[in-house]
Chain A
């Protein structure tokens, strides 16, 4: 079955740029989406179709996807961005999620 791999944790200082990767076999041939989830809350879509932002998502969130790796980039990271981040792609009509990355802003 298809698998997506994310680093368990990423740390960033406030105001700096955070990058979270998601790796999968030929992931660049699929569309990647990204979600963030704060404790006790439901996930929220922040990036779809590799690099599109839903309405209401700040411009500091951006994405890219090429080869075997999709990347979520948060520019000028704020304390409110501290959350778990999950990547997701479709494979044979099945939604696959990465294991999640805990972003710590310190």
Chain B
């Protein structure tokens, strides 16, 4: 079955960077894109960007431009997101999600809690 398994809890200080991974299985990794999304405590979903695995074409949310980088490793079927210059506003659960052929997010990772605190 299709699974997206994310890395574990992260606690970071303001100004630091965080790197979250998402290992895919159960489908052909290079045939789909991966999006990253996040959800601040008690808030809604925020789309962070998308990477097309086949050619690593990326689109990032405008408000995160300059601080975010998405990459993939096709040898391990793993996607990564790095976010730099963290502030308390970046405290959230971070999700990876597969962008399916129907242009919706049809499979999601379990989420990674990222806390930014001094």
Contacts and interface: CB of A to CB of B under 8 A. Distances in A.
Q: Which of B37, B50, B105 has the most CB of A within 10 A?
A: B105
A43 to B, nearest CB: 6
Q: How large is the interface on B (under 10, 10 to 19, 20 to 34, 35 or more residues)?
A: 20 to 34
A88 interface: yes
Interface in B61-86: 61-62
Interface string A88-106: 1010011111111000000
A97 B108 contact: no
Contact of A35 (B103, B105, B110, B111): B105
Contact of A42 (B47, B61, B103, B109): B109
Given A43-B108, A44-B108, A90 B103 contact: yes
A86 B104 contact: no
Q: How large is the interface on A (under 10, 10 to 19, 20 to 34, 35 or more residues)?
A: 20 to 34
B46 interface: yes
A97 B102 contact: no
B11 interface: no
Interface stretch (A15-23, A45-53, A75-83): A45-53
Given A93-B59, A94-B61, A95-B35, A45 B106 contact: yes
Interface string A22-62: 00000000010101000000111100110010100000000
B26 interface: no
B41 interface: no
B46 A97 contact: yes
15 contacts: A33-B105, A42-B95, A43-B97, A45-B104, A48-B100, A48-B103, A48-B104, A49-B102, A49-B103, A86-B45, A93-B50, A93-B59, A94-B59, A97-B44, A97-B47
Sorted nearest first, the 4 A-B pairs with minimum C-beta distance are A48-B104, A95-B47, A33-B104, A42-B108
